[in-house]
Amino acid sequence: MMKRNPYLKIGLTIIGLLMLITLFAPWLRSADPAQIDAAQLLMPPSSAHPFGTDQLGRDLLTRIIYGARISLSIGFIAMGIAVAVGILLGSLAGFYGRLVDTLIMRCADVMLCFPTFFLILAVVAFLEPSIFNIMAIIGLTSWMGPARLIRGEILSLKEREFIQAERALGASDARIILRHLVPNALGPVLVNATLGISAAILLETGLSFLGLGVQPPVPSWGNILIEAKSTLGVAWWIMIFPGLAILVTILGFNFIAEGLKKIIG
């Protein structure tokens, strides 16, 4: 399967390597990402500092590796929340239809009317910027896509013969939804969730770049980029390397989504 699906192979390789790097970060880069070294301010890439240092003398490679932990965690957990809420609401809407379907889908339509980024900005403005708040906010404002996808699949599946047979045998609604409908409807949701991880990482980066996301000294790709604004003319590496990390990561998840799409058909 992998040989016939180069997109999936490339994507899994990129994300797999990235996750291994973040997992073994303490062994790969023993330095503290917040450690300040006044003697190493704005040093260009070298053997001692492969990605250079920032305006406080902190090693940029170390900060990018530890920042990857934060960005990936936010992407996976936020999308996990979105998928869980989407599956719950989409399953109820598709299975019960009528008033339940109308209420849930109209709520989804209302939320889709607002640009996600500005909706998140409005919510963040009233809450303390923190990693956990960012995960929850992104997750709870991104459930509409998974909900609509699983609703559409269940609307089709619930009329199939094997579902009618389960009803005839007296199976409960919960058993039919959890054991038969949801597992058979997860294909498109899985593709959407993979793309959603990319979107969540970009949202976190944008929020941190605006100062409303992960707060220093905790490193994330977004707040590393905002620190690069003041030194862009003299220290290009502070902008380039985090930007490349974001680009490669997003490409990796997009390749995985494309590969899964080909498998699902």
pLDDT of residue 26: 83
Specify whether the CB–CB gap between 86 and 139 falls below 8 A.
no
Tell me if 181 is assigned to some domain.
yes
Tell me if 31 is assigned to some domain.
no
pLDDT of residue 265: 64
> Mean pLDDT of residues grouped by 10 in the chain (265 residues)?
78 93 84 82 89 89 91 92 94 90 92 80 76 86 92 87 82 85 88 91 84 81 84 86 93 92 80
- 59 forms beta bridges with 53
pLDDT of residue 87: 94
Specify whether the CB–CB gap between 61 and 242 falls below 8 A.
no
Tell me if 25 is assigned to some domain.
no
pLDDT of residue 167: 80
CA distance 144 to 107: 9
Tell me if 24 is assigned to some domain.
no
Percent of the chain residues topping a pLDDT of 90: 35
pLDDT of residue 253: 94
Q: Which residues contact 205 (CB under 8 A, 6 or more apart)?
A: 71, 213, 220, 221, 222, 225, 246
pLDDT of residue 111: 87
What CATH number has the domain bearing residue 193?
1.10.3720.10
pLDDT of residue 2: 57
- What is the amino acid identity at position 133? N
Tell me if 39 is assigned to some domain.
no
Q: Tell me which residue range forms the domain holding 90.
A: 6-19+52-264
- pTM (two decimals): 0.88
CA distance 184 to 89: 16
Tell me if 105 is assigned to some domain.
yes
- What is the amino acid identity at position 242? P
pLDDT of residue 6: 86
Tell me if 84 is assigned to some domain.
yes
Tell me if 43 is assigned to some domain.
no
Q: Which two tokens stand for residue 232?
A: 């862009």
| Number of compact structural domains in the chain | 1
pLDDT of residue 108: 92
3-state secondary structure 119-186: HHHHHHCCCCCCHHHHHHHHHHCCCHHHHHHHHHHHHHHCCCHHHHHHHHCCCCHHHHHHHHHHHHHH
pLDDT tens-place string over residues 190-225:
999 999 999 999 888 888 877 777 887 888 888 888
| Distance spanning both ends of the chain, measured CA to CA | 14
CA distance 235 to 248: 21
